[in-house]
Structure 1
Amino acid sequence: MKLKIVLAQLNFLVGDIEGNAQRIIDEAKSQAGKADVVVFPELAITGYPPEDLLLRDHFIQRVELAVANIISRVRGIHLVVGYPRRREGKLYNVAGVWYDGDILAEYEKHKLPNYSVFDEKRYFSPGREAVTFELQGVRIGLSVCEDIWEVEPAAMSRAAGAQLLLNINASPFHIGKAPEREELVQNRARENMLPIIYVNLVGGQDELVFDGGSFVVDGQGRVIERLDFFAETAACIDLCIENGTGNPSNSITPLMPEEQRVYQALVTGVRDYVLKNGFNGAIIGLSGGVDSALTLAIAADALGPDQVEVVMMPSRYTADMSNQDAIAEAELLGVEHRTISIEPAFNAFLEMLADEFAGRAVDVTEENIQARCRGIILMAISNKKGRILLTTGNKSEMSVGYATLYGDMAGGFAPIKDVPKTLVYSLCHYRNSLSQVIPQRVLERAPSAELAPDQKDSDSLPEYAVLDEILERYVEQDQSVTEIAAAGFDEATVMRVIDLVDRNEYKRRQAPPGIKITRRAYGRDRRYPLTWSKRNR
């Protein structure tokens, strides 16, 4: 038996219930007469994650109206759609099956993730039963996202007679996620000798990026079809349900190299955050350093050069090469650029504060004033022109507080806040492999904030190769000082880095949102108190 199944890997907007419903209707009507069923991602009607919108009665009522609207308007094709369903005072994360005005089945998600960025137990009750439906003589089982990560739900579907399993997802990107999820689904398929269709959401939503990459695995655990990553697509596959096997496509989309996946995640996250929130472009402070260079390349690729503006803001400590390299990159990318010196503002602040500072040595205070002068300039342009200000700080800096509140941290979105400094360089090299947009000198010179004479980042921090590995062990792997030192790191350096991380939680709480690309990002992914005893870390 052969089924024509459309994998509708689409980008839905959270809260746009009526708009999302119309997209489902349009896609379904375009496939009617060509395919047997269209499969949409998890919570397609609401977008994912809807968070506390789910607690509003009116929100759920709008979902109910949208479900009724879709069912009444689509004929001649089966739909599998994700949405929240309220039943007997409880809310469930549901995969519904509809055909010609009828609800044929509703599967309630069993496994509710409550770790990392997920908080589903706050909103949903778990389902308990396996649910199947019949299509063209084939018994098809249903599951939702997290269900496929555990053994029981797939086994229950198989026991209920399923010959094929549909798994709808809103699975966010992080480094290493795509091969990890494919391996896991392959294992489920082999365990149950059951083909599995994995349909994933695509697009950016606040700090999360959904990478698509939907795929099909046959009953032997072979990937026989894979859709593009980071792109909306609706692909119709012909699946032969004979002994649970299939033939790999001759044109199967390969897994992207990791750096390409990360870069595309950043581009997708910036594009969707800016456009979905209605900004008419972006503004960036371009310093001539590597972080702002990468941020600019991402923004230009995400929005188009005509939607990006950069401002160079030199001070008495800015090297000529920094100005030259910043202008060179702006011209290579074709973005609008201008120079506004912060010297008049900096001098004005020093004069205003002269009595307060009398008798006190120059220190980091004066450095922070420079950064805040730049923040005021950039935010003023952002306000006046309606363009979002993108900050340029990376994860290494944000970890240890190497950033200025209300200065370089000022802005609306932080594209690379979860990108370690060493990965910043790798991504720059990757972007230059496509076309040379970041001057080579930017990649070769020593990093510097240029807020004091002859300043280098290494004056205040360990070398980034060392710092980033310590941070990964402490932040992402929860290793202790003893464990990190036992791996070969100087214990005093480890203690110093960890102390900086813990003491600067208050800064990170005030930072703009940014794109999650590591297994454990700051914010909703890693939640530490501001005030706590830091003994015995």
Structure 2
Amino acid sequence: MAQLRLALAQVNSTVGDLDGNADQIVTWTRRAAEAGAHLVAFPEMMLTGYPVEDLALRASFVEASRDALQRLARGSPTRGSATCPWSPATSTAPGRRGPLGRPGGLPLNAAAWLHGGEVLVRSAKHHLPNYGVFDEYRIFARGDRLPVVRLHGVDVATAICEDLWQDGGPVSVTSASGAGLLLVINASPYERNKDDARLELCASRAREAGCALAYVNMVGGQDELVFDGDSVIVGPDGSPLSRAPQFVEHLLVTDLDLPAAGRRRGGPRPRRRPGRHHDHH
């Protein structure tokens, strides 16, 4: 087994405020580092704000978001430390084709791993919702990769919000990847009784993926949308390990005992020990 101290930063970003959101990432990353976390994860599109809507179709904004991400990486508290922040950002995808064969160059609803002053890995959302309050299919190009990062002896796979709700995509291949943790970043709006639905979904997808699952969600408001947080971590059998409160910014820090990298393939899975969590407001 390998031990990973994970911090879920359930925070409120502002659409279009790249500098302000970057400052929040730095502040909460410092808090996570002070708590001894090996990894801190932020909600979906934390750097740009969500829903970004047609701002993502402005080339100047996309370029500004990419520049902000690079500056954030270079100035991050993780430079030279063991903490690796997870920070989503919108970026372009030159040469890629969009929905229904539209020309390449559409932006991505993407996430990036930052560590040691660099942007190490980028990946994009697979399932782009186009129902209710969502209009992502019109704006973004689809992703087609499951990034797996080895961190502190654990292989961590990543997915973005709707990828958890829809069958197929990243969750369906997580088990084959041998990951010990599936990290899902979200901007999931509040609905009555959705907290129960989220927990059931996380439990079901953890069992499908065959590993622990960490779900970090945005909190706050944007126009008519309210985000309630309710971040949660469940074990590979779907049992809840730790959970953040609703409607408040919160840093949920949890110690997880997870399968060591490479140990899940071709052999019996180690027994899971309960997670230990520490709450920080």
When normalised by structure 2's length, the TM-score is: 0.85
Cα deviation for residue 248 of structure 1 reads 5.9
Cα deviation for residue 120 of structure 1 reads 0.3
Find the residue that maps to 2:179 and give its secondary structure.
coil
Q: Does 1:11 align with 2:12?
A: yes
- 2:64 counterpart (57, 62, 77): 62
Q: Does 1:222 align with 2:223?
A: no
Matches within 5 A, 1:315-394: none
Q: Which ranges of 4 or more aligned residues in structure 1 deviate by more than 4 Å?
A: 248-252
Q: Does 1:124 align with 2:140?
A: yes
5+ unaligned residues in a row in structure 2: which ranges?
95-104, 260-269
- Judging by fraction of residues, say which structure has more strand: 2
- Judging by fraction of residues, say which structure has more helix: 1
The one-character-per-residue Cα deviations of 1:3-45 (angstroms, maximum 9, x if unpaired) are: 1111000011111111001110122133336211110000001
The 1:107/1:157 distance shift into structure 2, 3 A limit, reads farther
Partner of 1:41: 43
Partner of 1:143: 159
Give the Cα–Cα distance (whole angstroms) in 1 for the partners of residues 74 and 215 of structure 2: 27
Report if aligned partners of 2:159, 2:182 keep a CA contact under 8 Å in 1.
yes
Report if aligned partners of 1:218, 1:246 keep a CA contact under 8 Å in 2.
no
Higher RCO (C-alpha under 8 Å, 6+ residues apart): 2
Report if aligned partners of 1:131, 1:157 keep a CA contact under 8 Å in 2.
no
Give the Cα–Cα distance (whole angstroms) in 2 for the partners of residues 202 and 171 of structure 1: 9
Give the Cα–Cα distance (whole angstroms) in 2 for the partners of residues 202 and 29 of structure 1: 19
Partner of 2:190: 173
The 1:235/1:90 distance shift into structure 2, 3 A limit, reads same
Amino acid at match of 2:198: R
Amino acid at match of 1:107: S
The one-character-per-residue Cα deviations of 1:176-217 (angstroms, maximum 9, x if unpaired) are: 211111101100111222100000000011111000010001
Aligned length: 252
Matches within 5 A, 1:206-217: 206-217=223-234
Report if aligned partners of 2:110, 2:122 keep a CA contact under 8 Å in 1.
yes
Partner of 1:90: 106
Q: Does 1:78 align with 2:84?
A: yes
Give the Cα–Cα distance (whole angstroms) in 2 for the partners of residues 50 and 62 of structure 1: 14
When normalised by structure 1's length, the TM-score is: 0.45
Report if aligned partners of 2:175, 2:208 keep a CA contact under 8 Å in 1.
no
Find the residue that maps to 2:132 and give its secondary structure.
coil
Amino acid at match of 1:245: R
Max radius of gyration: which structure? 1
Partner of 1:162: 179
Q: Does 1:236 align with 2:253?
A: yes
Matches within 5 A, 1:287-326: none
Report if aligned partners of 1:6, 1:35 keep a CA contact under 8 Å in 2.
yes
Find the residue that maps to 2:155 and give its secondary structure.
strand
Cα deviation for residue 48 of structure 1 reads 0.7
The 1:189/1:32 distance shift into structure 2, 3 A limit, reads same
Report if aligned partners of 2:256, 2:276 keep a CA contact under 8 Å in 1.
no
Q: Does 1:23 align with 2:24?
A: yes
The 1:105/1:183 distance shift into structure 2, 3 A limit, reads same
Give the Cα–Cα distance (whole angstroms) in 2 for the partners of residues 250 and 239 of structure 1: 9
Amino acid at match of 2:274: N
Cα deviation for residue 251 of structure 1 reads 9.1
Over aligned residue pairs, what C-alpha RMSD do you find? Answer: 1.7
Partner of 1:514: none
Give the Cα–Cα distance (whole angstroms) in 2 for the partners of residues 130 and 201 of structure 1: 22
Amino acid at match of 1:51: E
Give the Cα–Cα distance (whole angstroms) in 2 for the partners of residues 129 and 136 of structure 1: 22
Find the residue that maps to 1:173 and give its secondary structure.
coil
Amino acid at match of 1:173: Y
Matches within 5 A, 1:388-467: none
Cα deviation for residue 70 of structure 1 reads 0.8
